[in-house]
Structure 1
Amino acid sequence: MRRLAEAGRFDYLVIEGTGIAEPLPIAATFSFRDGENRSLSDVARLDTMVTVVDAVNLTRDYGSRDFLSDRGETAGEEDERTLVDLLVDQIEFADVIVLNKVGDATPGQRESARTIVKALNPTARLIETHFCRVEPEAILDTGLFDEEEAARHPLWYKELFGRADHVPETEEYGITSFVYRARRPFHPEKFSAFLARTWPGLIRAKGHFWLATRPDWVGEMSLAGAICRTEAVGFWWAAVPRAQWPHHESWKGLIARHWHRVWGDRRQELVFIGASLDEATIRAALDECLVGSPDALRFNPADFAGLADPFPTWRRAMAA
């Protein structure tokens, strides 16, 4: 790219990643500096991230449990991504989404595809077309890419962390979202059963949680299509000796803002996004997963140590 830019022969360069490429690493390449402090951003500006979506097959693929290896498409032997993982990565990170093959799609397929796309990325420009006929100015030199915004772009982030400038998706696509918050822990067996259920209209869910049997751990839940994953992503400050807490005032303020006299900073925060979601039913089901008294004066982990816990073992390396 440096050589092409320095030649002065070209105004614009279009990079077409492979069908299984993740857009974030491509974007990060522009910010990376090598040992000689050189960066692509010195000679080129990343302008727009474009994703093309198949209107005919998106609904089917989004509900698939297939791994990329099942489709004969992987980045190597250690590539354990599912098809849904790839779809979410590519759609959530795009500035422009081209919904292609709309002429071949049924009205139901088109509407379903629009709903999925808008649920995952409501702020991207959506272009509907056939045979990928798109005006060049719609995808070239748009100035849409913003590195800082890209890092927090998905709707689940905006909902979960309360972006002040985020306006919920319009009713045009029938998409709604809500955040479930609670302080008490989840019963592991009941929460596992909740995650195994099918919730009509649910397109995306993500957030962090804590289990009564694992009070030290921050768990992360990510659901897209038919795939739901949970893993450990760190430890609650309540489980860390105070001598090891950060001394920076902004960190102290963040901890204090989320602190509860009984539960510390432990909390449930899960965002749900979908079409025609039954919010009341989902909230009630999650409330049923909570254990412990709302009026508890102290938290004793030993009180919950005997609860059935079907989640896989979490190890320190998982949270590194």
Structure 2
Amino acid sequence: MTQLAQPGSSVSPADLRPALTLLTGFAPKATREAADLLTRADPGLITVTHDLTELLATGTVRRIVRDGRGLIEDERITLEHGCINCTVREDLLPALVRLARSRPANDIVLVLPPSMEPETVASACSWCHVDGAPVTDALRIDSVVAVCDPATLLDTLDSDQDLADRRLQAAADDTRSVADVAARQIEYADTVLLWAPGSEPDYEHTRLAVLLQRLNPWARHLVVDMAEPSWLSSRIRRSGRFDPEAPEPYGRGLEGYTVGCHEPEPDCGVVATLYRNRRPFHPERFHRALPTLAGRTLRGRGHLWLAGQPDHIVAWESSGGGVSMGDMGRWLAATPDDEWDESSPERRVNADLHWDADFGDREIQLAFVGLHFAADEVAAVLDACLLTDAELAEGEAAWREYPDPFQGCFESKERNQE
């Protein structure tokens, strides 16, 4: 087994709550194998899995609970609404709390199905109550571990399929793509495993390890090439690596964190580039550039601003040749002073430190990762989308009148109230 990063911080021994490890990934077989390896190291470890095969058709979920000694529960539950969110609220969280209370000496591993994103579970744990008490009174999330199979990783990240194409959608209106979900699982994790037990280290594994590090540079990375239970358990269990206060990957730049790494020279063919600029994008030119940006790279994330909509932050995600953009709220420069306290202290401090006389806290921060693309060419495409000196001189009132293909695309409650 190859270790690619140093261990994270440990948890205070005074915290007696059972530790919950989330195993996520778009490789179910590898994820189950990782869970089995952990229970071999600790037979008292409880493993919880959910089979969502019948969720959409009948609203039924199968929950299986095991430990290293055998089966504990195997139940089918019919939910009022057949979707991932109700699965989490109505079955998963109550089951976790019940297990934590009935077996307080045993930690829990939750093996997530491919279509369930760990952020959904972590968020629900942070605010949901069970039997009138917060979920976090009964247990704590210790680590979020993404398990990646080298045999399928590249095809998954480059897939142009939606979850529905593989009958993995979490609800009837679930339009998420395979590549988006897989990338988010990797980016949200605090620990990333390249799962290759029994394989000899080779160039392809090295290339994929570099790719995973570029996709999630803030995580701990491990290459598992031997099925040795105690080695894996000692590096994953009770690591305390999960940070519930960490910002979303594409919103990290707003709070002063990097949204990615800048490694423009290929390493095993893997290229990563970070693009930053204060000027806004011209909406029409940026719209025309979308296929080029998404087509040349495997993954992109970050935030930006458009000249035609200068009050609002736009989130950016690209993967599998597709693009996802959404509203992230107002820039502080467009927010009344008495509403600044609604933003995090980190964001306010970051804005103060980098305030621009012309644009305030408005800034483009985009990170791209892929194979064999030229970082300078991507930067040139983005530069060509920026407002020119002459367009900047026209002023904000003129920008708002520009033809904007994105107009109405980023609806939110806040925008509807404007």
Separation (CA, whole Å) in 2 of partners of 1:204 and 1:94: 16
> Are 1:138 and 2:249 an aligned pair?
no
> Are 1:92 and 2:187 an aligned pair?
yes
1:21 alignment partner in structure 2: 116
> CA RMSD for the aligned pairs?
4.0
Separation (CA, whole Å) in 2 of partners of 1:172 and 1:9: 46
> Are 1:278 and 2:381 an aligned pair?
no
Contact 1:232 1:318 in 2 (8 A): no
> Are 1:69 and 2:170 an aligned pair?
no
Report the AA paired with residue 270 of structure 1. Answer: L
For 1:19, what is the secondary structure of its paired residue?
coil
Report the AA paired with residue 84 of structure 1. Answer: A
1:293 to 389, 394, 411: 389
Separation (CA, whole Å) in 2 of partners of 1:125 and 1:134: 17
2:356 alignment partner in structure 1: 260
Separation (CA, whole Å) in 1 of partners of 2:196 and 2:384: 44
Q: List per-residue Cα deviations over 1:115-162 (Å, max 9, x = no partner).
A: 4322222433323348xx3524414663234342673485x6667755
Which structure has greater strand proportion? 2
Counterparts in 2 of 1:1-320, with a 5 A limit? 1-8=96-103, 11-32=106-127, 34=129, 38-100=133-195, 110-122=205-217, 123-129=219-225, 133-139=227-233, 142-148=237-243, 151-152=246-247, 154=249, 162-163=256-257, 175=270, 177-198=272-293, 202-241=297-336, 246=341, 254-275=350-371, 277-293=373-389, 300-305=395-400, 307-314=402-409, 316-317=411-412
Q: List per-residue Cα deviations over 1:41-82 (Å, max 9, x = no partner).
A: 334343333333222122112111211111011222122211
For 2:141, what is the secondary structure of its paired residue?
coil
Contact 1:54 1:101 in 2 (8 A): yes
Cα 1:19/1:184, change in 2 over 3 Å = closer
Separation (CA, whole Å) in 1 of partners of 2:272 and 2:159: 23
Report the AA paired with residue 54 of structure 1. Answer: D
For 2:109, what is the secondary structure of its paired residue?
coil
Report the AA paired with residue 313 of structure 1. Answer: G
Q: Which runs of 5+ in 1 are unaligned?
A: none
Cα 1:35/1:237, change in 2 over 3 Å = same
* 1:292 positional shift: 3.8
Contact 1:48 1:139 in 2 (8 A): no
* 1:197 positional shift: 0.3
Q: Which runs of 5+ in 2 are unaligned?
A: 1-95
Using the size of structure 1 for normalisation, the TM-score is 0.77
Contact 1:209 1:270 in 2 (8 A): yes
For 2:310, what is the secondary structure of its paired residue?
strand
Shifted more, 287-296 versus 66-75: the winner is: 287-296
**Percent of aligned pairs sharing the same letter:** 26
Contact 1:208 1:268 in 2 (8 A): yes
Report the AA paired with residue 265 of structure 1. Answer: D
Cα 1:40/1:16, change in 2 over 3 Å = same
Shifted more, 121-130 versus 206-215: the winner is: 121-130
2:68 alignment partner in structure 1: none
Separation (CA, whole Å) in 2 of partners of 1:125 and 1:48: 13
Separation (CA, whole Å) in 2 of partners of 1:35 and 1:225: 38
Using the size of structure 2 for normalisation, the TM-score is 0.61
Q: Number of residue pairs matched?
A: 315
Cα 1:8/1:109, change in 2 over 3 Å = same
* 1:10 positional shift: 5.5
Report the AA paired with residue 266 of structure 1. Answer: R
Cα 1:261/1:160, change in 2 over 3 Å = closer
For 2:174, what is the secondary structure of its paired residue?
coil
* 1:171 positional shift: 8.3
Contact 1:53 1:99 in 2 (8 A): yes
For 1:15, what is the secondary structure of its paired residue?
strand
Q: List per-residue Cα deviations over 1:182-226 (Å, max 9, x = no partner).
A: 222211121122221057873332222222222222222112342
Report the AA paired with residue 229 of structure 2. Answer: E
Separation (CA, whole Å) in 2 of partners of 1:223 and 1:214: 21
For 1:42, what is the secondary structure of its paired residue?
helix
